[in-house]
Structure formats: C-alpha cells, structure tokens
C-alpha cells in the first residue's frame, strides 16, 4: 500500500513537465483496432520468427510480466518498473533524479558494484564514496558518515547493496530504513537486492510503501539464471516510476526476453529456482573451504551471495594457477581497498572439484596428516 506522497522536489526540475517520447504503442487511443498501420512494422513475420511473436513492437512495460513480477515480489503493480537489467534501472533512476553538470550526484560505498559510479559518470554527475569498514570477516557500512556526506555534497541518491558485490556482506534492514527516513527530505536510498535470494535476510520491498524515498533493485540475472535475458526491476513509489517511464527508452524489453522471464516466474520454474538457490548456498561453504585452503589466502569473507571474496598474499599465482586449468575468476585488485583480492562464483559441484584441483599444488593442508 502506498499512502505517502513522493517528494517531487527529488525529481529533476527540468523533467517535471517532460512528456517523453510518444510512441505508436503509447499514443494510440480510440476503439480497439484490428488492422495496425501505425508503427511501420513489417506486414508479415520474419522467416526466423516462426511464431511471429517478434514482428510487432513490444509493450513498453509488458503487462503479463509486470503482473508476474509484482506477484513474485509482493509489490504493488504501480510500484514496479521493468528494465533491461537492473543496469538500465540504475541508469534511468540517476537520469531522473540528478541534473547533470552540477552537485546533484550519488553516494557509493566502496567496495561495491561498479555500475553506480559508471552511470553517474556517463550522465555527468558526481559520485562520492563513503568506504565500508573491513571487520576482517565482513564489510560494514558507515551509514552515519553516509548521511553526513549526503548533507555535505548535495547528493540525491545513496546506493547500497545487500548482499553486497563483491563483499557478500549484508546490511541490517532496520539501518537502511533509518537512513532513508533521516535523509528523506534531500535524497533517496536505493537498496540493490541482486543477491537477496541467496541470503536469509528479508527483502526491503514490503517497506517501500511506508518509506516513499526508498527504492529496491531486483534482477533475474542471478538466482533466476537469466543473465542473458536482461530483465531487472526497480520497486519504488508510483509517482517516481511514472516519471522514470518517460525517461526510459520507448521499448526497453525485447519480446523473446519477456517471454522467457514470464516462463521463469511460473510456479514450476520457481520451484526449480529455489532448488538451484539451495544448492548454491550449500556449495558456497565448500567454495569457501577450497579457497581458504589455497596457499597465500589470508581471508575468505563471510558471504550471503553466490560468490566469495578472498584476500591473498599471492594474487598473481592464484589467478595464474586457475587460469592454467581453464578457470576464470574475477580479479578485484582494481577496486579501492582490495589490492590483494579475488572473487569466485559458486558454480556447480564439478566446477568446484576442478577449482580444488587447480589450487591443489598451492594448498598448505597436509592431506595425509
């Protein structure tokens, strides 16, 4: 339920009266047509498009998918913006809220997902970083300093991720809501829940109705196994969603991607996804053990996601050792504060066997002890 108003002062002033692109799809009104000659589409389907599903422009926000996503997430239909991955939702949100060329920037908390700062840079708004604190086993946000940085810099969006990438750490939902309330007069709080299915923690979506400046990002790229379909969503106040619709590309969601996403949200697929998530969470402990046992590894952080982050005194050796066996892991050394870190995704049981073998010559464990 949404009863609280969205503070429209948080929308870019120059967009307040902006109508966006008026597409053939969105501008058609009148009695339902049977012959569609308004969008310059082809008169027959492509030979490769056997069921003809792709001949027409798609709905800008396909109703069936929006309904399925709202039901799956427990959100109101009007709170959901579907996007071409959460990457697009991040980009459209920044462009909707922050005017370029001035002080209306964003706050990030390193080490974190790179797209927040990339989207800000491309749009020409500043990104201010408030580093997380490394406790030795996880990363903790300094939300007091985040609130202070918002006041000081005039930033309009705070991006938080829980579980975080690449940290795998979670943030207490109570703390997120307290921050959202504290800065509600000047900035939004966006909680990126790309990995929430792998965590025990509850989603913040149920709190969006009562906290109008809180928004939540979700994706079908991770737990749902649809990274190639590029389907993400922002759950936020309907008034904000309505403006974002005018900023977003006219037809952001390709029909084949929408079709597979709808199938993925049917009960049978969701059961399958839940099983995959359980398996991943189980294998995560084994992955942590395998990486911990490799020579030179100093710490493997507690993870609530589908990967682990580790620090090693010999990152080059570790990366080379697995690469030699055809295994790619993510070098995180380009990130601030992670000059000795790698991130490894969970994979299958066989993948982990291969990883264990690749790291074996490097292990310090006495196997026959």
Question: Quick one: 11 or 89, whose CB is closer to ligand PLP?
Answer: 89
Helix (H, G, I), strand (E, B) or coil at 133: strand
Q: How many residues bind ligand PLP (CB under 6 A)?
A: 13
Structure tokens given for 292: 């911990």
The distance of closest approach from Cβ of residue 127 to ligand PLP in the complex, given in angstroms and rounded to an integer, is: 15
Nearest distance in Å: CB 163, ligand PLP: 8
Answer yes or no whether residue 85 interacts with ligand PLP by CB under 6 A.
yes
Stretch that binds ligand PLP, among 214-222, 237-245, 272-280, 337-345 (CB under 6 A): 214-222
Q: In what order do the strands lie in the sheet with 214-219?
A: 80-84, 231-235, 214-219, 188-192, 157-161, 106-108, 127-129
- In whole angstroms, what is the distance from residue 83 CA to residue 138 CA? 31
By beta-carbon proximity to ligand PLP, the closer residue of 231 and 359 is 231
Instruction: Rank residues 104 and 165 by Cβ distance to ligand PLP and give the closer one.
Output: 165
Q: Based on CB atoms, which residue is closest to ligand PLP, 194 or 294?
A: 194
- If binding is defined by CB under 6 A, does position 79 make contact with ligand PLP? no
Q: Least distance to ligand PLP from the beta carbon of 79, Å?
A: 18
Judged by CB, which is closer to ligand PLP: 311, or 343?
343
Q: Please identify which residue in 125, 179, 192, 290 interacts with ligand PLP, judged by CB under 6 A.
A: 192
Query: Who's near 161: CB < 8 A, 6+ residues apart?
Result: 112, 113, 191, 192, 193, 194
Pair of tokens at residue 289: 């053990």
CB-count burial class (<10 Å; 0-12, 13-18, 19+) for 367? exposed
Listed ranges 14-22, 67-75, 80-88, 332-340: which one lies at the site for ligand PLP (CB under 6 A): 80-88
Q: Cα 274 from chain centroid? A: 19
- 248: closest CA among 117, 93, 76, 63? 93
Distance CA 69, CA 63 (A): 10
Residue 154 C-beta: closest distance to ligand PLP, Å: 25
Beta bridge partners of residue 232, listed in sequence order: 83, 219
- Pick one of 108, 165, 203, 248: the residue that binds ligand PLP (CB under 6 A): 165
Of 82-90, 132-140, 309-317, 319-327, which part binds ligand PLP (CB under 6 A)? 82-90
End-to-end CA distance of the chain: 61
Binders of ligand PLP among 18-57, rule CB under 6 A? none
Q: What b/e string do you get for 325-336 counting C-beta neighbours within 10 Å, with b at 16 or more?
A: eebebeebeeee
Q: Which two tokens stand for residue 31?
A: 């009695």
Which of 87, 91, 197, 259 is close enough to bind ligand PLP by CB under 6 A?
Answer: 87
303: contact with ligand PLP by CB under 6 A? no
For position 212 contacting ligand PLP by CB under 6 A, the verdict is no
Point out which span in 127-135, 174-182, 204-212, 215-223 binds ligand PLP (CB under 6 A). Answer: 215-223
Q: Which of residues 122-161 bind ligand PLP (CB under 6 A)?
A: 161
Measured CA to CA, the distance from residue 267 to residue 364 in angstroms comes to: 46
The answer to whether 219 contacts ligand PLP (rule: CB under 6 A) is yes
* Separation between Cα atoms, residue 211 and residue 241, nearest integer Å: 15
* Residue 259 in the binding site for ligand PLP (CB under 6 A): no
The binding site for ligand PLP (CB under 6 A) comprises 85-87, 113, 161, 165, 192, 194, 219, 221-222, 227, 232
């Amino acid at each position: 339920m949404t009863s609280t108003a969205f503070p429209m002062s948080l929308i870019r002033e120059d967009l307040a009266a902006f109508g966006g692109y008026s597409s053939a799809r969105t501008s058609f009104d009148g009695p339902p047509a049977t012959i569609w000659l308004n969008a310059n589409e082809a008169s027959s389907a492509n030979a490769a498009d056997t069921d003809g599903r792709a001949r027409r422009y798609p709905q800008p926000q396909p109703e069936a998918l929006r309904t399925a996503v709202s039901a799956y997430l427990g959100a109101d239909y009007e709170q959901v913006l579907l996007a071409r991955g959460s990457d697009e939702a991040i980009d459209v949100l920044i462009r909707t809220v922050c005017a370029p060329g001035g002080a209306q920037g964003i706050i990030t908390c390193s080490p974190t997902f790179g797209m927040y700062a990339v989207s800000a840079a491309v749009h020409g708004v500043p990104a201010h970083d408030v580093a997380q604190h490394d406790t030795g086993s996880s990363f903790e946000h300094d939300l007091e300093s985040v609130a202070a940085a918002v006041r000081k810099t005039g930033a309009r969006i705070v991006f938080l991720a829980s579980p975080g990438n690449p940290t795998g750490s979670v943030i207490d939902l109570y703390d997120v809501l307290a921050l959202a309330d504290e800065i509600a007069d000047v900035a939004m709080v966006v909680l990126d829940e790309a990995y929430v299915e792998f965590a025990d923690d509850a989603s913040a979506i149920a709190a969006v109705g009562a906290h109008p400046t809180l928004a939540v990002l979700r994706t079908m790229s991770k737990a749902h196994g649809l990274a190639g379909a590029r389907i993400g969503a922002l759950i936020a106040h309907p008034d904000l969603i309505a403006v974002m619709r005018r900023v977003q590309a006219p037809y952001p969601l390709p029909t084949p991607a929408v079709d597979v996403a709808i199938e993925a949200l049917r009960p049978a697929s969701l059961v399958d996804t839940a099983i995959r998530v359980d398996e991943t969470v189980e294998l995560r402990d084994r992955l942590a053990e395998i990486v911990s046992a490799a020579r030179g590894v100093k710490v493997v952080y507690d993870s609530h996601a589908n990967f682990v982050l580790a620090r090693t005194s010999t990152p080059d050796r570790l990366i080379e050792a697995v690469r030699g066996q055809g295994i790619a892991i993510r070098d995180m050394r380009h990130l601030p504060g992670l000059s000795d870190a790698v991130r490894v995704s969970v994979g299958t049981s066989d993948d982990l066997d291969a990883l264990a073998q690749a790291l074996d010559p490097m292990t310090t464990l006495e196997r026959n002890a």
